[in-house]
Amino acid sequence: MDSAFLKALAQARPDPGGGAAAAHSAALGLALLAKVVQLEHRRQGPAGGPGLPWSDLLAQVRLVAAALLRLQAEDVQAYFQLTQARTQGGPIEMAAALEAALACPLRIMQQAQEGLVLLALGGAGCALHLVADLLVACELLGGAFRGAHHIARANLPLMPQDSRRDVWDEDLSHTLNALEAEWQQVRAGLLGRLACPFEGWG
């Protein structure tokens, strides 16, 4: 996650675009979570952890982060295939490209959801002075899944009404609603810890 992606994102060209940026945002959130988990593993030792060892939580965080970085690259490829299909392809190529252009942002949303689960675990067991960092991570994950949803929604009207459009519409709505509820719960839990006057800073 160096500045190369940000430089590419700022260029006057269509890719990388919003979907890749959403995946990058989620990966940034996971990087913050990884930092907190490693600090707590160092502070608490192998026996510590929020229901599971910190080392196990770190391994899961890294898996989700790696998946998000893969999706960041896949989104660029999906966009390229969609533009190629719109200009040069037939109905079969267009249908396949649209499926990919919808599936990639949906998977970004799903990985952001995995990140929220891990964030809740980390937030429940970390020192109080690290909770604000996890709130930043929470906001990044929230922006990521909402952004990915916008990208998918922008592609949905390209799909014919008599195809799988209704199925995708339902999947996207269901996933977004579930994520919003989970995000609110995780955020409230973190804010609740900050509001507790009796908890030490660790």
List, for residues 60-80, the tens digit of each pLDDT value: 999 999 999 999 999 999 999
How confident is residue 199, by pLDDT bands cut at 50, 70 and 90? low
pLDDT score at 46: 73
From residue 162, alpha-carbon distances to 85, 100, 103, 157 in Å are: 19, 18, 19, 12
**Residue in 73, 151, 139, 67 with CA at minimum distance from that of residue 105:** 151
* 63 compared with 161, residue with greater pLDDT: 63
How confident is residue 2, by pLDDT bands cut at 50, 70 and 90? low
Per-residue pLDDT for 192 more than 70? yes
In sequence order, what are the residues at sequence separation of 6 or more whose Cβ sits closer than 8 angstroms to the Cβ of residue 130? 36, 39, 40, 202
How confident is residue 198, by pLDDT bands cut at 50, 70 and 90? low
Per-residue pLDDT for 1 more than 70? no
Instruction: Tell me the two tokens of residue 112.
Output: 């952001």
Q: Mean pLDDT over residues 91-107, rounded?
A: 94
Local structure of 47: helix, strand or coil: coil
Q: Mean pLDDT over residues 161-183, rounded?
A: 94
pLDDT score at 145: 99
pTM of the model: 0.92
Q: Which domains are assigned to the chain?
A: 15-194 (1.20.120.680)
Q: Mean pLDDT over residues 153-174, rounded?
A: 92
Residue 34 · residue 43 · CB < 8 Å:
no
DSSP state of 121: H
Q: Mean pLDDT over residues 110-131, rounded?
A: 97
Beta strands in 39-80 (DSSP E): none
Residue 108 · residue 75 · CB < 8 Å:
yes
Q: Mean pLDDT over residues 123-129, rounded?
A: 94
What phi, psi does 82 have (nearest 5°)?
-65, -45
Local structure of 11: helix, strand or coil: coil
Per-residue pLDDT for 54 more than 80? yes
